[in-house]
Structure 1
Amino acid sequence: MKYPNLNLGIFTINFDTVMSITQALSPTAYFQDNHKLIALYPLSESQLLSNLQFLKDRIKVIFLEKGNTITIDFKTYDLSDDALFFVNVNQYVWIDHITGESNKIIGYNRDFYCIQIHDKEVACDGLLFSNVLQLPMIQLATEESNKVKESLREIQDEMDLADSSTEEMLRIYLKKLIIFSTRIWKKQNLENKISSNIPLDVDLFRNFSQLIEIHYRSKHSVSDYADLLETSPKILTTKFKKLNLENPNEYIKNRIILEAKRLLIYTSLSIKEIAYTLGYDDPAYFNRFFVQRMGQSPLNFRNENSKNT
């Protein structure tokens, strides 16, 4: 099988070269047509790259069996049940070890699935991939886990078949998995937060999430996003409160802090450059903001955490 080339940001190298240098994961199967790419990767002790940064520019659906541990964007999850994780591009993933035989990653790019006509609840900018409420992950009951495994087998089989309709079938299988997962996520994370007399405004959260992801470097206030949503800060805050969610301001600030932490740990940018990147003209103000949220200066955070990456 001819493996696809990987774009690592600075340069592009062939997958075989990655294998020889980093012992990266080898896909069990993949589909590639021009710029469209989707691949299925196994996760096992014999084939595990702890730092999955070679998939940084891919959207990822990660299936892990119970008993495993995964760290995504500085948060560690110890799994007591099988689980699915939905990881967007530029998020940092780390797995120290793996147990079980069914663990897999679907990695695909936006050209394969995420063009504007897919801009719906189940697209890559939908609830599972652009969500300020929490990292989208779902815990799976036994029956749900079996359905996910079946979906993964369907994707594997279709990639192996590789006929003229494979691209469309793969997109159908992927969309089916995302729809199935979205329903579970909503049930686990939203339905228990509302009473019968409060309407569930899913679009509000999806749109709010998307807007933060687009504008967090330049827009830092609730009023900025209320304007974009054509509502008032008071109404927006009230809707969050009725669902027992944090103030929208917390989600905005948390997204800025998350990016600051990424830039501090995974880049060599100076504190001043990071401040400017995140829309702060006054680096001293950014420093105070970071201390207020994290309890330590950006420099101390970098020094304490860089040694662990």
Structure 2
Amino acid sequence: MDIFNTNTLINEQTGNLAFKLFTFEGNGQFCSVNRLNYYSLIWIKRGKGVAKIDFAEYDFSQDTMFAITPYQPFVFIEKERLGGVVLNFHPDFFCIHKHHEQVACNGVLFNNIYNPPMLCVNDDSRNNFEMLISQMKAEVQKSDLAQYELLVSYLKIFLINASRNKVQQQPEVLATVPESNEPFKLQKLKNLIETHYRTKHSASEYAELLNISPKALAKIIKSHFNKTLTNMITERIIIEAKRELYLTNKSVKEIAYTLGYDDEHYFSRFFKNKVDISPTLYRETVGFARANS
């Protein structure tokens, strides 16, 4: 694949990527499974295909933007030649957990197990995104005073705009009460997962709480979320495990216990099976106890 106009900042302390902005043509970088240790915003400006992200598949066409979290597996199957822009940033460069109140993208753009990790770039937002990308590109090529602060400011604006667009297109992202177009049991299921994911890990337990057969619940979930309940529970556990590994100095054993696993080694195998690396290596590559730094 031909990648051009690549602009990268490296963390001088760790030697790892901090911020990267590049345009691409073709599907070479995305045709095999990616598991990156930073956040990615991938704007497909041309072409169409199928995205496989975590446990679900999504058809997409031009002007679709994907929001991918660290070590979230994804692959794009190209149907028409792809082209677009990619914005990568490491949690050490900008932590969405730490700055949640400022940009409100966590749970909207990223880490939302109930909605597709994508949005449509409409006519109103396209010019804003293009302008911000140009500003970030110009700034990353400099070594001027307060370069980091200015880049973070542009990134915040970009994330806020993307989050607003997604909420406008998918208002159920922020819904806290049952919607007429979504069965009440699914709304109740969301609440139950958020309440019990640390202690209840099987689909049958949630079916019992909802007083519905596991088979009937599975059918409803598949039609609305395009994934299984087991996968949704797993995703929610992994999201919390990643958050704890990044934001706290808790040991892996403590985190495992918090998430309902008495056996640290079983939890570590579970995490590695889903994320492809161990909890310890995740902490080493993504970050550790940065919230108060």
Q: Into which bin does the TM-score normalised by the smaller protein fall? A: 0.5 to 0.7
Q: Does 1:254 align with 2:231?
A: yes
> In the TM superposition, what are the counterparts of 1:1-309 in structure 2 within 5 Å?
28-34=6-12, 35=14, 37-45=18-26, 48-51=29-32, 53=34, 56-69=36-49, 70-97=51-78, 99=81, 101=83, 103-114=84-95, 117-120=98-101, 122=103, 125-190=106-171, 216=197, 219-220=200-201, 253-256=230-233, 276-277=266-267
SS of match in other structure, 1:134: coil
**Is the 2:104–2:160 Cα contact (8 Å) retained in structure 1?**
no
Distance 1:26 1:219 in 2: 47
SS of match in other structure, 2:103: coil
SS of match in other structure, 2:94: coil
C-alpha distance 60-104 of structure 1, shift in aligned 2 (>3 A):
same
**Is the 2:33–2:74 Cα contact (8 Å) retained in structure 1?**
yes
C-alpha distance 31-180 of structure 1, shift in aligned 2 (>3 A):
same
Amino acid corresponding to residue 99 of structure 1 in structure 2: R
| Structure 1 residues 82-118: Cα deviation after superposition (integer angstroms, max 9, x where no partner) | 01111111211212447355x1111111111116531
Amino acid corresponding to residue 108 of structure 1 in structure 2: F
**What's the CA shift for 1:221?**
7.5
Distance 1:179 1:87 in 2: 16
1:290 alignment partner in structure 2? none
**Is the 1:217–1:279 Cα contact (8 Å) retained in structure 2?**
no
Give the 4+ runs in structure 1 shifted more than 4 A: 23-27, 191-198, 215-219, 257-260
Q: Could you say which structure has the larger radius of gyration? A: 1
SS of match in other structure, 1:40: strand
Name stretches of at least 5 consecutive residues in structure 1 with no aligned partner: 1-22, 199-204, 225-232, 235-244, 261-272, 281-309
Length-normalised TM-score, structure 1: 0.54
**Is the 1:66–1:79 Cα contact (8 Å) retained in structure 2?**
no
Length-normalised TM-score, structure 2: 0.56
2:240 alignment partner in structure 1? none
Distance 2:176 2:230 in 1: 28
- The number of residues matched between the two structures is 214
**What's the CA shift for 1:81?**
4.2
**What's the CA shift for 1:74?**
4.2
**What's the CA shift for 1:168?**
0.8
C-alpha distance 133-277 of structure 1, shift in aligned 2 (>3 A):
same
C-alpha distance 38-191 of structure 1, shift in aligned 2 (>3 A):
same
**Is the 1:122–1:128 Cα contact (8 Å) retained in structure 2?**
no
Distance 2:30 2:131 in 1: 25
SS of match in other structure, 2:141: helix
C-alpha distance 179-258 of structure 1, shift in aligned 2 (>3 A):
closer
Amino acid corresponding to residue 254 of structure 1 in structure 2: N
Aligned-residue CA RMSD (Å): 4.7
Distance 1:175 1:145 in 2: 16
Per residue, is there more strand in 1 or in 2? 2
Amino acid corresponding to residue 109 of structure 1 in structure 2: H
| Structure 1 residues 2-30: Cα deviation after superposition (integer angstroms, max 9, x where no partner) | xxxxxxxxxxxxxxxxxxxxx89677001
Amino acid corresponding to residue 255 of structure 1 in structure 2: M
Amino acid corresponding to residue 181 of structure 1 in structure 2: A
**What's the CA shift for 1:142?**
2.3
